[in-house]
């Protein structure tokens, strides 16, 4: 079986949603902990205007600190929304660039200030610039499975965006379920269509657990050839520009599930659980992760 | 596709766990609401010693009230643990009998006061008596996917119990994940083995969401030919004789998921959500169900 890639997005997708700005030192400690747990990629932050999203104002500084003398094999990714963000990211040491456009016109207008077509074109431009700079790039379709404002999103629109990415030479594609509307049959259908389009694509998914289907969708995606999964420690997360926001599937729950299936057993689950508990203690509220509350099953309990 | 059967077990599996005894009238109103929503089966209660489980002391009276002049097509099931319970159930109008034994020796001793083999033999005796009385019977293997005390449960032990049920002429079999240890690959493997044993079995599953895999396991079971699903409104539930207890998958979350997939669209989801909210208000605490908090996706949002 292909190796399952774990992409931790909590420091970006989770912390951008929190009213409270997390001190730089705290963030750095969490990210170093995540890197130490053995997850493959950690998304350190996004490059947005510090006045718009003050929670992400320290992204450049975080990258500088984390890449200085770095020995960990964990890749540090950054989310960029435009060429300006890309330039900031290139300057501070981003190791992998994530960028995307929304398949929902309304979500795109609210989130990026322009429609889907224009946003896709600009993202392709930025992605090609990152590729030219020698950086791995993942491009995504946000709201790929439905939108809190628009409702159902035509699959043809998602496929059209993916075709544009592929035509531009981009091969690492993520479908994000920003609003949490995805259901397993839809996940299998849409990723199946992507594989039919181009079997060599490297596929990633990102599911919010708004309606309780996050983990079921992850398993549906795994059956559909998706090999990379974006999750958030403690189940943090949400998008400020959706109607009903909810967290991502918790990284430690996903790792626990994978280890139940005999996969990724070298990842340090105990460390992930300790980090998730520290995040909950920091914010002083219950967070969605399950295994952080129950504790993991012991090895003798595996079947 | 085969019709998916929804078996609501909250009034039994949920309320047996609550410290607070729910007044008879309240229970009756909830059960009538569940029947009115269009779920196929509602488990009204269990027939246990009223001193041991006072929450279930009114099961006989509930059945008498609910079956008097009954016009609803929803089947009313009752859980019995022994012949004495069976006789009570036959006397008060139970329409379908559920009974089972645990594949975990420790769980069986704690829950039934005898080991797995003896418990299985006695359950078969009671089941045959119910069949002779002309009643539908579902027999189950509890702790089929793992046990909070014993850890992993050998699949051969589960299959041995199912073989004994089948040899006794019993065809409706449920596997219960009492402790919530199940994971999708295991679910597919075990139900696959049951189908290989006897393709004509009518298969039911029952997953607790202890480690966040309940819904993923349901979808894995669906792919493995399971057609009947035990869930609890609001995600109530748990077994007092497990180490870490957690609720079942919430009925309204399951129905919401089914309807996303175009199934069971005639079930009254809004009514289920209202009932789940009423249960949470009654107990005055947050319950695990998701859709009761977010509200359902509207029809226009289906994809």
The CA distance from B223 to A233, in Å, is: 29
Q: What is the ipTM of this complex?
A: 0.94
pLDDT reported for residue B242 = 58
Q: Which residues of B touch A (CB under 8 A)?
A: 145-146, 151-153, 155, 181, 183-186, 209-213, 215-216, 218-220, 244, 246, 249-250, 253, 256-257, 260-261, 289-291, 294-298, 300-303
Average pLDDT, chain A: 94
Assess whether pLDDT exceeds 80 at residue B1: no
Assess whether pLDDT exceeds 90 at residue A139: yes
Q: What does the block give as tokens for A7?
A: 């992409």
Assess whether pLDDT exceeds 90 at residue A301: no
Question: CA dist B212 to A158, B34, B175, B258, Å?
Answer: 29, 25, 18, 18
CA distance B176 to chain A (A): 15
pLDDT reported for residue A238 = 72
Query: What is the CATH number for A218?
Result: 3.20.20.70
Question: CA dist A160 to A107, A169, A173, Å?
Answer: 17, 15, 13
pLDDT tens digit sequence for A49-98: 999 999 999 999 999 999 999 999 999 999 999 999 999 999 999 999 99
Q: Which residues of A touch B (CB under 8 A)?
A: 145-146, 151-153, 155, 181, 183-186, 209-213, 215-216, 218-220, 244, 246, 249-250, 253, 256-257, 260-261, 289-291, 294-298, 300-303
Q: What does the block give as tokens for B169?
A: 């002429």
**Across residues A142-156, what is the average pLDDT?**
94
Q: Using alpha carbons only, what angle is made at residue A77 by residues A76 and A81, rounded to the nearest 5 degrees? A: 155
HSE, CB side, 13 Å, CA atoms: give it for residue B143. Answer: 31
**B181 in Cβ contact with A297 (< 8 Å):** yes
Q: Which of B183, B263, B300 to mutate to test the interface with A (most CBs of A within 10 A)?
A: B183
Q: Which of B187, B182, B173, B120 is nearest to B148 (CA)?
A: B182
pLDDT reported for residue A148 = 87
What one-character-per-residue DSSP string does B35-60 give?
HHHT-SEEEEEEE--TTT-GGGTTHH
Q: Which of A87, A85, A84, A65 is nearest to A76 (CA)?
A: A65
Q: Which of A184, A171, A115, A108 is nearest to A145 (CA)?
A: A184
Q: Does residue A179 sit in helix, strand or coil?
A: coil
**A214 in Cβ contact with A178 (< 8 Å):** no
The CA distance from A274 to A33, in Å, is: 9
**A253 in Cβ contact with A229 (< 8 Å):** no
| Lowest-pLDDT choice from A10-24, A25-39, B219-233 | A10-24
What one-character-per-residue DSSP string does B187-244 give?
HHHHHHHHHHH-TT-EEEEEEB-TTS-HHHHHHHHHHTT--EEEEBGGG----TTSSS
DSSP, res A232: B
Assess whether pLDDT exceeds 70 at residue B262: yes
| Lowest-pLDDT choice from A107-116, A244-253, B53-62 | A244-253
pLDDT reported for residue B298 = 75
**B42 in Cβ contact with B28 (< 8 Å):** no
Write the burial class of residue B279 (CB in 10 Å: 0-12 exposed, 13-18 middle, 19+ buried): buried
Nearest to A219 among B219, B246, B294 (CB): B219
- Number of domains present in the structure of chain A: 1
Nearest CA in chain A to B259: A183
Assess whether pLDDT exceeds 70 at residue B300: no
Which residues contact residue A157 at a Cβ distance below 8 angstroms, ignoring those fewer than 6 apart? A103, A116
pLDDT reported for residue A111 = 87
pLDDT reported for residue B258 = 97
**Across residues A39-46, what is the average pLDDT?**
98
Q: Does residue A239 sit in helix, strand or coil?
A: coil
Assess whether pLDDT exceeds 70 at residue A146: yes
Percentage of chain B beyond pLDDT 70 is: 96
Assess whether pLDDT exceeds 60 at residue B151: yes
Assess whether pLDDT exceeds 80 at residue B303: no
Question: CA dist B21 to B24, B49, B53, B235, Å?
Answer: 9, 15, 10, 18
Assess whether pLDDT exceeds 90 at residue A244: no
| Lowest-pLDDT choice from A209-218, A222-231, A238-247, B43-52 | A238-247
The CA distance from A89 to A98, in Å, is: 11
Range of the structural domain that residue B276 is part of: 5-301
Nearest to B294 among A215, A244, A298 (CB): A244
pLDDT tens digit sequence for B90-147: 999 999 999 999 999 999 999 899 999 999 999 999 999 999 999 999 999 999 999 9
Q: Do A300 and B151 touch (CB under 8 A)?
A: yes
B147 is catalytic: no
pLDDT reported for residue B17 = 85
Nearest to A301 among B146, B290, B294 (CB): B146
pLDDT tens digit sequence for B170-225: 999 999 999 999 999 999 999 999 999 999 999 999 999 999 999 999 999 999 99
pLDDT tens digit sequence for B269-299: 999 999 999 999 999 998 999 999 999 987 6
Within 8 A of A298 by CB-CB distance, chain B residues are 151
**Across residues A144-169, what is the average pLDDT?**
96
pLDDT reported for residue A212 = 95
HSE, CB side, 13 Å, CA atoms: give it for residue B271. Answer: 14
Within 8 A of A303 by CB-CB distance, chain B residues are 145-146, 152-153, 155, 181, 186
Assess whether pLDDT exceeds 80 at residue B65: yes
Nearest CA in chain B to A301: B151
Nearest to A151 among B250, B257, B298 (CB): B298
Assess whether pLDDT exceeds 90 at residue A242: no
């Amino acid at each position: 079986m292909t190796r399952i890639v774990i992409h931790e997005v909590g420091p970006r997708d989770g912390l951008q949603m929190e009213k409270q700005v997390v001190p730089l030192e705290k963030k750095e400690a969490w990210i170093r902990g995540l890197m130490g747990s053995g997850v493959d990629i950690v998304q350190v932050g996004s490059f947005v205007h510090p006045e718009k999203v003050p929670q992400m104002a320290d992204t450049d500084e975080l990258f500088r600190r984390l890449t200085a003398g770095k020995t960990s094999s964990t890749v540090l990714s950054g989310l960029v929304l435009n060429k300006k963000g890309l330039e900031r990211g290139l300057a501070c040491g981003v190791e992998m660039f994530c960028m995307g456009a929304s398949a929902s016109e309304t979500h795109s207008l609210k989130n990026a200030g322009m429609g889907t077509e224009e946003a896709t074109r600009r993202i392709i431009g930025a992605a090609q610039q990152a590729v030219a700079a020698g950086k791995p790039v993942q491009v995504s379709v946000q709201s790929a499975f439905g939108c809190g404002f628009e409702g159902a999103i035509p699959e043809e629109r998602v496929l059209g965006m993916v075709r544009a990415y592929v035509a531009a030479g981009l091969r690492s594609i993520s479908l994000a379920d920003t609003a949490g509307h995805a259901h397993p049959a839809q996940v299998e259908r849409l990723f199946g269509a992507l594989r039919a389009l181009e079997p060599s694509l490297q596929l990633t998914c990102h599911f919010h657990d708004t309606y309780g289907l996050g983990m079921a969708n992850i398993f549906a995606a795994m059956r559909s050839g998706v090999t990379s999964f974006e999750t958030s420690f403690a189940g943090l997360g949400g998008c400020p520009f959706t109607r009903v926001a909810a967290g991502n599937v918790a990284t430690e729950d996903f790792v626990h599930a994978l280890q139940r299936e005999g996969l990724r057993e070298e990842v340090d689950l105990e460390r992930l659980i300790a980090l998730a508990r520290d995040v909950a203690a920091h914010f002083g509220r219950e967070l969605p992760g399950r295994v952080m509350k129950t504790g993991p099953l012991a090895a003798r309990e595996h079947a």
